[in-house]
A and B are shown apart, each in its own frame.
Chain A
Amino acid sequence: MSKVRLASVWFSGCSGCHMSFLDLDERLLELASKVDLVYSPIVDIKEYPDDVDVLLVEGAIGNTEQRHLLEEMRQKTKLVVAFGDCAVTGNIPSLRNPIPREELLRAVYGDGDIPGLEEGDVPKMLPQAMPIHTVVKVDRFIPGCPPPADRIWTFLQALLAGRRPELAGADLRFG
């Protein structure tokens, strides 16, 4: 049986979900024998490949580049997973959402050249940081800030056993 092509990406988040993923500890060895990690912040691959089986998305969508990349990834991926509260709800990055974008950027950068206000070297900041399911179709949700390693493992085990992972009970907990 060919290995599952697993990918992960880090958008507007703190990387805590990826840290929690690494907290799988010795279970990572078992995982490594069953998956190929084809794209991730923890591997050195620059281009998102075709035919990805599962993508774990950490972080909310906060700028145009993230939105574009997520749309491209969706087309190349069978199962897109919102991985952690930022991807599922907007969470901490969405704290800025009640404040108008320009007002917020001017408060931070003053009156000079403001990165992210318009498209430039830095991608344009979106008016609000959004949960990923508002941008693309999302197949599964793993809540948690971060999701505990055991919850991630429950999800991945079902996946590797060829089942559609369904989290339930205490595994559906925000925060």
Chain B
Amino acid sequence: MINLRIDDTPVQAEPGQTILVAARGVGIRIPTLCQVDALSPVGACRLCLVEIRNWNGRLVPACATPAQEGLDVVAHSEKLTILRRTILELLFAERNHICAFCVSSGHCELQDLATELGMDHVTFPYRFPFLSVDATHPKFGLDHNRCVLCGRCVRACSEVEGAYTWGFSGRGVATLVEADLGDPWGASKTCTACGKCVQACPVGAMFEKGKATAEQVKRPEILAEVTERRPRV
């Protein structure tokens, strides 16, 4: 077992466990967005940044950093709250995240994080980009206005379904999630219409057609339910 401290609480972790998993084991909640159990960590959203006291206060993503012997981790502080809220504000400013008419309002991880981190307004200028909605698939829709580029759909499609339909195109703020090589979702030859990407999506970017806002509850835990049943090789 590995011994470390998180927020001054002694914590034990198995070799290979991340700081995030170790923290959860003792009931310490660290905010996350791009992380989902069963998918490989990418450290893309930076909301789970924690400070390592004995690494000169270095900031590392808890979801992608293995627990190590003797680590002195700060998971909650005024500084970290400000950092996380700033990251959240940048996410809100980047695209058109307008909760009031979003199909995921009330079941949205981004909306919940704003409440959790005490974001009462966005201090950065909104970009208001012109983005499209792909409604070509018979069962599902993709609204780029709502996308936070967490990549949960991309990883669910490749790592759990094995279809490799989703990928990223472009760079930086111009990055888009796209099916196959930029085909409309409905024209994709690789998509199996399994819907795992939709269940993995933390926001209203991917949604089920024919479901009202109140019914649009996502179940990202379905990914772990699938992989845990698979035989280990």
> B105's closest neighbor in chain A, by CB?
A175
Indicate whether B119 reaches chain A with its CB closer than 8 angstroms. Answer: yes
Chain B's closest residue to A143 (CB) is: B120
- Determine if B126 and A94 form an interchain contact, defined as CB atoms under 8 angstroms apart: yes
Docked CA distance A141–B123 (Å): 12
The answer to whether A99 and B130 have CB atoms under 8 Å apart is yes
B121 close to A92 (CB less than 8 A)? no
Residue in B101, B111, B125, B131 whose CB lies within 8 Å of A173? B111
- Collect the chain B residues with CB atoms within 8 Å of residue A173's CB: 111, 114-115
Q: How many A-B residue pairs have CB under 8 A?
A: 71
- Stretch of A32-40, A51-59, A83-91, A115-123 with 4 or more beta carbons under 8 angstroms from chain B: A83-91
- Is B119 a contact of A172 with CB atoms below 8 Å? yes
Interface of B is mostly: loop
**B126-139: contact bitstring with A at CB < 8 Å (1 yes, 0 no)?**
10111100000000
**Residues on the A chain within 8 Å of B111, using CB:** 173-175
Query: Number of B residues whose C-beta is below 8 Å from A?
Result: 24
A88 near B120: Cβ-Cβ < 8 Å: yes
- Shortest Cβ distance from A170 into B: residue: B115
Tell me, yes or no, whether B98 is within 8 Å of chain A by CB: yes
Chain B 34-61, CB within 8 Å of chain A: the 1/0 string?
0000000000000000000000000000
Q: Which residues of B contact A31 (CB under 8 A)?
A: none
Q: In the complex where A143-B120, A172-B118, A175-B106 touch, is A85 in contact with B100 (Cβ < 8 A)?
A: yes
A87 to B106, CA, bound (A): 20
Instruction: Point out residues on B near A: beta carbons under 8 Å.
Output: 92, 96, 98-102, 105-106, 111, 114-115, 118-123, 125-126, 128-131
